[in-house]
């Protein structure tokens, strides 16, 4: 294939640029689909569920604590009323009944105090758990935000490099004859399309070349490109 040295050089550089562009596309995809970010996001969703459960548990215990406190106050008020009535009555029979009720209410008060104390202990533990999961969620949210910023900066840098390479590519394409460019496109769609003889091998497929092949490629005219017998890549000098 007729191809002068300048066009051969441009074609080789075009192949290298296209490989760099493809690598950048892969790096952008890898950055956007970061496994670290995906794992952190999944963990954040787990924390969000835990936070809902912890908050619900805490709020239910708060309600139980209010009910227990209300019940205790009701009993204390009844005891206070019965004691006032006891102090005012002159009937021994009424006094005996009120004294019995006061004793019963006092026992009930003790039971309610124990219940309230147990609920308050559970409430304190629930508050600790709620604070802990809230802290974990907030810390992870900050980590994710920082990671997203890092990824975005990485993607922006890759895109900037990609735009420069794309501009360079257009310049290189303009230096390659249409026939060579068409062949290049066909090959580049499935493999490295352009190579050189390096260390008695094709740099495109890394396969060793026979002495006869190397001699044949070396004897080509300066304005002619060869072809690798193994991968069919365009061989330039």
State yes or no: pLDDT of 210 exceeds 90.
yes
Place of tokens 């995809």: 29
Q: What average pLDDT score do residues 76-95 get?
A: 87
State yes or no: pLDDT of 88 exceeds 90.
no
pTM to 2 decimals?
A: 0.73
My answer on whether 81 and 192 are in the same domain is no
Give helix 92-173 / helix 35-88 axis angle, nearest 10°.
170
Query: 5 vs 2, 166, 197, CA distance in Å?
Result: 10, 23, 15
My answer on whether 149 and 80 are in the same domain is yes
State yes or no: pLDDT of 237 exceeds 90.
no
Does residue 169 lie in a domain region? no
More confident of the two residues 90 and 193: 193
My answer on whether 25 and 134 are in the same domain is no
Total count of domains within the chain: 2
* Domain end among 109, 129, 160: 160
State yes or no: pLDDT of 117 exceeds 90.
yes
At 36-66, the pLDDT tens digits run 999 999 999 999 999 999 999 999 999 999 9
My answer on whether 58 and 98 are in the same domain is yes
Residue among 193, 237, 195 nearest 219 (CA): 237
My answer on whether 49 and 10 are in the same domain is no
My answer on whether 62 and 152 are in the same domain is yes
Give helix 5-32 / helix 92-173 axis angle, nearest 10°.
180
Distance CA 57, CA 76 (A): 28
Does residue 167 lie in a domain region? no
Residue pair 79/103 in contact (Cβ under 8 Å)? The answer is no
What CATH number should be reported for the domain holding residue 138? 1.10.287.1490
My answer on whether 110 and 55 are in the same domain is yes
State yes or no: pLDDT of 90 exceeds 80.
no
DSSP line for 83-143: HHHHHH---HHHHHHHHHHHHHHHHHHHHHHHHHHHHHHHHHHHHHHHHHHHHHHHHHHHH
State yes or no: pLDDT of 1 exceeds 90.
no
Ranking 85-89, 104-108, 158-162, 198-202 by mean pLDDT, the lowest is: 85-89
More confident of the two residues 85 and 154: 154
What's the mean pLDDT when you consider all of the chain?
Answer: 95
| pLDDT at position 94 | 80
Q: What average pLDDT score do residues 199-227 get?
A: 95
* Domain end among 160, 187, 219: 160
Q: Which residues pair with 224 in a beta bridge?
A: 2
* Domain end among 113, 129, 160: 160
> How many other CB atoms are there within 10 angstroms of residue 48's CB atom?
14
My answer on whether 150 and 110 are in the same domain is yes
Does residue 185 lie in a domain region? yes
My answer on whether 204 and 90 are in the same domain is no
My answer on whether 136 and 188 are in the same domain is no
Residue 189 belongs to what domain range? 1-32+177-237
My answer on whether 86 and 148 are in the same domain is yes
Does residue 171 lie in a domain region? no
At 181-199, the pLDDT tens digits run 999 999 999 999 999 999 9
Does residue 170 lie in a domain region? no
State yes or no: pLDDT of 91 exceeds 90.
no
My answer on whether 14 and 49 are in the same domain is no
| pLDDT at position 67 | 96
């Amino acid at each position: 294939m007729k191809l002068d040295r300048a066009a051969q050089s441009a074609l080789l550089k075009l192949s290298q640029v296209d490989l760099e562009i493809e690598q950048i596309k892969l790096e952008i995809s890898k950055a956007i689909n970061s496994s670290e970010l995906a794992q952190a996001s999944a963990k954040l969703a787990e924390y969000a569920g835990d936070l809902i459960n912890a908050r619900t548990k805490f709020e239910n215990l708060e309600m139980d604590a209010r009910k227990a406190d209300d019940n205790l106050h009701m009993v204390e008020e009844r005891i206070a009323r019965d004691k006032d009535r006891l102090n005012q009555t002159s009937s021994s029979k009424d006094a005996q009944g009120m004294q019995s009720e006061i004793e019963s209410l006092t026992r009930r008060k003790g039971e309610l105090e124990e219940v309230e104390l147990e609920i308050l202990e559970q409430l304190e533990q629930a508050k600790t758990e709620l604070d802990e999961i809230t802290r974990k969620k907030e810390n992870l949210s900050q980590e994710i935000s920082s990671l997203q910023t890092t990824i975005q900066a990485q993607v922006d840098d890759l895109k900037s490099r990609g735009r420069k390479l794309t501009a360079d590519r257009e310049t290189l394409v303009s230096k390659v004859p249409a026939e060579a460019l068409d062949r290049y496109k066909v090959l580049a769609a499935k493999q490295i399309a352009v190579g050189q003889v390096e260390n008695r091998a094709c740099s495109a497929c890394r396969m060793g070349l026979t002495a006869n092949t190397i001699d044949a490629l070396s004897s080509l005219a300066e304005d002619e490109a060869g072809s690798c017998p193994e991968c069919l890549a365009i061989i330039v000098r």
